[in-house]
Structure 1
Amino acid sequence: MRKPKPPRERAARALCTSRGLPENTKFEGRPMWESLMPEVDIVLKAAQTPEEWARLREGGESHG
């Protein structure tokens, strides 16, 4: 069974989908979804406590 994708990656992929962009197409040498990480991080950081954000940035799940 595959390991679930981290929350930040899932959010970036969802943002791609919502914009009609292909998630895995290469953009500047990386998957398209990675180019949306700065936007994802702005929203996730604003929506969580500093502790939750730190956990999420480290790759853990948010439980709040």
Structure 2
Amino acid sequence: MKKVKPPRELAARALCSSRGLPENTKFEGRPMWESQLEEVDVVLKAALPPEEWERVRREGP
């Protein structure tokens, strides 16, 4: 059974894809998608109610 990815990871992977970046290529020792998390967090924090943002943030990664 395939593990469901958390919303922050899905959003970060989508940013990579939209920018033509390979999601899983190593960048500074981590998967490329992880380098997009700061931008994802800014958008999700602005778009979600505070309690929903906290729930999503706690889910990881």
Q: TM-score when scaled to structure 2? A: 0.95
Tell me the percent identity: 77
Q: TM-score when scaled to structure 1? A: 0.91
Structure 1 unaligned regions, length at least 5: none
The total of aligned residue pairs comes to: 60
Deviation at 1:3, TM superposition (A): 1.3
> Which aligned pairs between 1:41-52 and structure 2 lie closer than 5 A?
41-52=41-52
Structure 2 unaligned regions, length at least 5: none
More helix per residue:
2
Task: Provide the alpha-carbon RMSD of the alignment.
Answer: 1.1
Provide runs of 4+ in structure 1 moved above 2 Å: none
